[in-house]
Amino acid sequence: MGKRGLRVKRLLAAIIIATLAYFGWWVYASNTLRVEVAAWFEDQRDAGLSASYSDLTVRGFPNRTDLTISEPLLASADSRISWQAPFLQILGLTYKEGHVIVAWPDTQTLNTDHGTIDVSSDGLRASVIHQDGTLVRSNLEATVLNLNSPDRSIAMAEVNAAVQAIETTAADFRVAISVGSFAASTPDVSTNVGPDSLASLRAELDLGFNKPIMFDALSNEPPQPTRIALHRSEVSYGAVAFRMNGIADLDAQGRASGEITISADNWRNALDSARANGDLPAALTEGLIELLTLLATLSGARDTLDVTLEIEQGTVFVGPIPVGQLPSLRWH
């Protein structure tokens, strides 16, 4: 055999050895991932939660570790809150540790104290970047996202959300949310949400928590929000936009204290139009008109809204007059 043939033989041997080594490493990585996920479910059960699945599979050789959890179920110890789905996928690149894509099925179910919420979606997925189990940033998107309960349904289209940890502290996050269109009705909402739907939403805010968001949050005390700074929030209906901004601190019970400014022009015409078109339930529209009329009158105009609301431990005031109560913003 000549020198050239010997070099080819050595090259082939090197390729085969490298391939076998990489295959062995991928098998090790996939088995490690499977074991870690199984251990995570076991940790939740040890913490008193209900946590189960029917199967764990890893595919994606050679450069991916795509995990599919079949029939996952998570429930609180008292079964007051639970989530289940046909499957959940966690898609990762072998050469990009700490960066995964989470893909949800088209249907999933969330049970709460207020009833069952059926979630249907198209293209619901999130990109998640974490470091040692701590959330660094995430982007979520869905072409369609519908929430259906026995007494109310919400349909959304072109949903996007971005979460970025603020560098100065791992417990504070900058959040941007946009919903191209959304509509609410009782009880059913069509999945055909388009440009003529009820409204659109844009919001930019900062959220502060008492500790970083970790992926073991279910088995430990979850991070609790301590501060909300709403830099810009706009809900549009036709030519009318309701704009909001403000800052609130939250106490240990999740009660907010701070202030929020709400402004809008020609809001009454927008709500009357929504009621006439059937975009809003009549009872909800009447309640909004009554509340906004009160706020507009107190701010000195009937059809132009520009008012600052004071919030003290969850109670909302216009001047000295209480006008409502905010729910607790504490995770249980």
Segments making up each domain of the chain, as ranges: 224-332
Distance CA(183)–CA(177), nearest Å, equals 16
Burial of 266 (0-12, 13-18, 19+ CB in 10 A): middle
pLDDT of residue 83: 95
Confidence at residue 289, expressed as pLDDT on a 0 to 100 scale = 74
Each residue's pLDDT tens digit in the chain (332 positions)?
Answer: 556 666 666 667 667 776 666 666 667 777 888 888 899 899 888 888 899 999 999 888 777 888 999 999 999 888 888 999 999 999 987 767 788 899 999 999 999 877 899 999 999 999 999 888 888 999 999 999 999 988 778 889 999 999 999 877 778 999 999 999 887 765 444 444 444 456 789 999 999 999 888 876 565 678 899 999 999 899 887 777 888 999 999 999 999 999 999 888 777 777 777 777 666 666 666 777 777 777 777 666 666 778 888 999 999 887 788 878 888 888 76
Helix (H) or strand (E) holding 275: helix 267-276
Residues 6+ apart with CB under 8 A from 96: none
Query: What pLDDT does residue 192 have?
Result: 45
Which residues neighbour 14 within 8 Å (Cβ) at sequence distance 6 or greater?
Answer: none
Length of the chain in terms of residues written = 332
Taking alpha carbons only, the member of 253, 227, 216 closest to residue 330 is 253
How far apart CA 271 and CA 67 sit, in angstroms, is 47
Euclidean distance between CA atoms 84 and 73, whole angstroms: 4
* Distance separating alpha carbons of residues 94 and 75, to the nearest angstrom: 31
pLDDT at 263: 87
For residue 187, the model assigns a pLDDT of 44
